[in-house]
Amino acid sequence: MSAQNPFSLSGRTALVVGASRGIGLAIARGMAEAGARTILAARSMHALNSEAEALRSRGLLAEALEMDVSDMESVRAVAEQLPAVDILANIAGMNIRKPFENFTAAEYDLLLRTNLEGLVWLTQKVGSAMIARKSGGKIIFIGSLTSVLGLPYVSIYGITKSALAGLTRLLAAEWGRHDIQVNCIAPGMILTDLNRAVWERPEMHAWLTGAQSLPRMGRPEDLAPLAVFLSGPGSDYITGQTIAVDGGFTTTARWPFEPA
C-alpha cells in the first residue's frame, strides 16, 4: 500500500474562521488547494464570496459563511448550521497597541470577545460534534509571539494569545482520547493589513535585521503550509504544540561581528 500524502486534505471539511484576508485567507487557500472542502468564515461577505468564487473557478471546493466571532449569537447561529467539520482553524483576531495603563474597559472587552471568547465557544461546539461523530479531527489556533514571550504595548492582545496557547495544551490533553489533535501556530513578524502602518517605519526594519536570523518580514503564505500539515494525516502524532513561524525571532539573533 502506498504511503498516504501527509499534506492531503481530500475528503475533509475545513472551517477557517477569519478567512477574508491576511493569514486566514492564505490558510483557507492552502487548505482548498490541499483538497479540503473549505468554508471561509468572517464578517465581510463581499470579500468572502469573491475569494470563494476564485477558488471554485480553479476547480476547488470553497464556500462563504458569515460569522462575527465577537458576537456570541452569531457564533451560536453558525455552529447550529455547520456541516460535519473535520478541521477547525481559528484565525480571527484583532489588536490594539497602546500602553497598558491607557487601556479602557471597552477595549479590553472587545479584544477578549474577538480574540478569545468567540473562538472558545465555537471550538466547544465544533469539538463536541467531532467527539460525537467518533471520527477524530484537527483544531488549529493562531497565537502570536506573545503566546511565548513578552512584547511591549500589546498587553491585552497578549492575554488572549497566551490563553489560546494554554487552551491548546489543555484541549490536547482532554480530547486526545477522541483522536482530536489540537495545535497552535505562533506567527512572527508577518506583514498584514493589520500591522502595515507599524512596518512603514524604517527603524522597525533596521531593528528586525538584528532581531532574527532571517532578516525579512514574513508573509501570510509562510504560515499556510504548516497549517495544512497540522490539518492532515502527517500530524496525527503531534498535539498540544505551539509552533513559531517567525524567521528565528524566538530562537536566534544577529550581530555585526564578523571573524577576521
In angstroms, the CA 227 to CA 248 distance is: 18
Q: Is 142 helix (H, G, I), strand (E, B) or coil?
A: strand
| DSSP E strands, 121-238 | 137-142, 180-187
C-alpha cell at 192: 498584514
Torsion of CA 96, 100, 104, 110, to 10 degrees: 40
Q: Which helix (H) or strand (E) holds 156?
A: helix 155-175
Contact 125, 83 (CB under 8 A): no
At 164, the amino acid letter reads L
- Which position among 108, 153, 157, 237 bears the catalytic label? 157
Q: Is 221 helix (H, G, I), strand (E, B) or coil?
A: helix
In angstroms, the CA 101 to CA 132 distance is: 45
Is 108 an annotated catalytic residue?
Answer: no
In angstroms, the CA 27 to CA 18 distance is: 10
Could you write out the DSSP letters of every residue in 120-137?
HHHHHHHHHHHHHHTS-E
- The set of catalytic residues is 157
